[in-house]
Amino acid sequence: MLNVVLSVVVTLAVLGLLRLGRRAAWRRHCGPAPAWMVRRLARRLEATPEQERLLREEVEALRLAVAELRGDLLASREDLARALAAERLDPAALDAVAARGASRLDALRARLGASLARVHDALDARQRQVLAELVRSGPHRRRAHGHA
């Protein structure tokens, strides 16, 4: 039961960090994060227009899946608060909160796997190596002291 509560709390913390990161990216680039991220990634990969379109589609699909997860987790937070406010802590209520988040998280994990497979198949060997290096070292490896 403690694991369930901890997993819900950790998930909510991660969503909070994602939200802060999204806001910071918007302020830094004056636009929605997925659009500029896809353009930058496509430039780094020297992607064809078809590959860039695929990247946009997959990022949008993942963005929607994360939004659905976020909506479920906000509802789960309300349910968790009700369970914690009750006179007695109900293990069944905690299990229901965890199950709702876990099912949406499983769907997100499956969507991520499908998106990565589509992108992997669309890239050539050189582009996959560039993408792997970006994942390995992060997008800012060429920047000095974190400035552009």
Q: Does any domain span residue 146?
A: no
> Residue 91 falls within a domain, yes or no?
yes
Looking at the 3D structure of the chain, how many domains does it have? 1
Which residues does 44 contact at the CB level (< 8 Å), separation at least 6? 130, 134
Is pLDDT above 90 for 147? no
Supply the pTM of this predicted model. 0.63
Asked whether residue 78 is domain-assigned, the answer is yes
Helix (H) or strand (E) holding 118: helix 91-122
Rounded Cα gap, residues 119 and 133, in angstroms: 15
Residue 103 lies in a domain: yes
Looking at the domain assignment, is residue 131 inside a domain?
yes
For 104-140, the pLDDT digits (tens) are: 888 888 999 999 999 999 999 999 999 999 889 876 6
Domain residue limits at 130: 2-137
Q: Is 141 helix (H, G, I), strand (E, B) or coil?
A: coil
